[in-house]
Amino acid sequence: MNEIIRLIEQWKAVDTTMSINQIKDTETFIYSRYFTKKVKGHKSNKIEIPIKRGAGCVLESVSYGGEHLVSERNDEYLVNLDLPRFPLVGQILAHTINDIKSYETADQKTEVGKLIGEIQADHKRSFLTTLEYMAAGALFGKIMDGKGKILFEFKSTKNPINLKGKDTISFLRDIDTQLVDELGKYQSYEFLAGNNFLSKLWEQCVLEKLDEKKTAFWTVKDDRRCLEVHGIVFFPYIATYKNTDDEVKKFIEDDEAVCIPIGVDAFITHYGRADHIKAVSMSPQQFFSAIDNHTRGQGYDILSETKSIPICERPTAVIKAIYQA
């Protein structure tokens, strides 16, 4: 057997799966920040997700044909879903194998590992980009399928907390009160905010001379420029999605902000076992990878897959704020 082929074929599915899971994650903002601390693996493709109703939590919209997927139990909505599947394929073709044969024997194993690792790293970056988009939706009460379509949307009937006409302490005190009402205790928090909201907040800070007192200032946290006011951080956030009418909408409008409680058991990522024969005998892994023969002996396929969905289980714990006349 050709030495290069032997080196490739000695990679078993358990090895390739371990490899892709050990690749350092590309830093995402919302997914990494909120949805990686609590993860749950499933053997089945079908999962039941409890969504805590909380005060004023309503099911705002359901995709066509999705009504039968939602039921109610006590203080929860129960959502039944198939885990979305994201498969990717990379290839090591025969001409690449021929090129590696020109290396010294000692370098061939290193080069094969490097080649497989590069393909897996590309796949994982793609997976994490998708999960970041889905996490942004989840943070705002939207459950999306693998194509970005909104399946369900949960919203609060409570009025947003309006910054206009309030000093900064009063505004934050209103946030504190609503969080305690929802969570039963005080919780630390931060904000994601639209540009106009941030501008108006900064104007209010200057009006109160907080900039001179050094209790409000622009800074950089986690490689992002942000505004800190009385110890509370406001991150600018701009991202869009398509609604059920295929219209492009902003997750946060320019004059809006959302308060995200930190350390609350509200954000989770569910994942399942990959749809591959080599995954059947393995415990569920968030990222799966395997090597198969390519069609007609042209080389090898590097198959990678994730079945993952980020969910916010307490939509009313994410509080909306506005600046509006």
Report d(CA 84, CA 251) in Å as an integer. 21
pLDDT in tens, 208-220: 999 999 999 999 9
The whole-number average pLDDT for the span 195-208 is: 97
Q: CATH: 3.30.1930, 3.40.50, 2.30.30, 2.40.50. Which one for 159-265+316-322?
A: 3.30.1930
Report d(CA 307, CA 247) in Å as an integer. 26
Residue 107: pLDDT band with limits 50, 70, 90: confident
The residue ranking higher by pLDDT, 116 or 249, is 116
Per-residue confidence (pLDDT) for residue 199, from 0 to 100: 97
Per-residue confidence (pLDDT) for residue 190, from 0 to 100: 97
The whole-number average pLDDT for the span 248-275 is: 91
pLDDT at 20 over 90: yes
C-beta separation of 269 from 35 below 8 A = yes
- DSSP codes of every residue in 83-129: PP-EEEEEEEEHHHHHHHHTS-HHHHHHHHHHHHHHHHHHHHHHHHH
Residue 104: pLDDT band with limits 50, 70, 90: low
pLDDT at 6 over 80: no
Q: Work out the angle at residue 214's Cα, subtended by the Cα atoms of residues 163 and 194, and round it to the nearest 5 degrees.
A: 35
Percent of the chain with pLDDT over 70: 90
User: Nearest-CA neighbor of 35 among 312, 318, 324, 316?
Assistant: 312
The residue ranking higher by pLDDT, 295 or 195, is 195
C-beta separation of 142 from 153 below 8 A = yes
User: Nearest-CA neighbor of 140 among 180, 179, 192, 175?
Assistant: 192
The whole-number average pLDDT for the span 258-287 is: 92
Residue 1: pLDDT band with limits 50, 70, 90: very low
Domain residue limits, the chain: 3-152+266-308, 159-265+316-322
Give the mean pLDDT of the chain. Answer: 86
C-beta separation of 54 from 183 below 8 A = no
CA distances to 31, 111, 117, 300, 303 from 105, in Å: 42, 10, 19, 20, 26
pLDDT in tens, 38-96: 999 999 999 998 888 766 566 665 665 555 567 777 778 888 888 989 999 998 887 88
The residue ranking higher by pLDDT, 156 or 276, is 276
Q: CATH: 3.15.30, 2.60.40, 1.20.950, 1.10.3470. Which one for 3-152+266-308?
A: 3.15.30
Per-residue confidence (pLDDT) for residue 96, from 0 to 100: 80
C-beta separation of 246 from 64 below 8 A = no
Q: Furthest-apart CA pair in the chain: how many Å?
A: 78
The whole-number average pLDDT for the span 311-319 is: 90
pLDDT at 100 over 90: no
pLDDT in tens, 128-150: 988 988 898 888 888 876 666 77
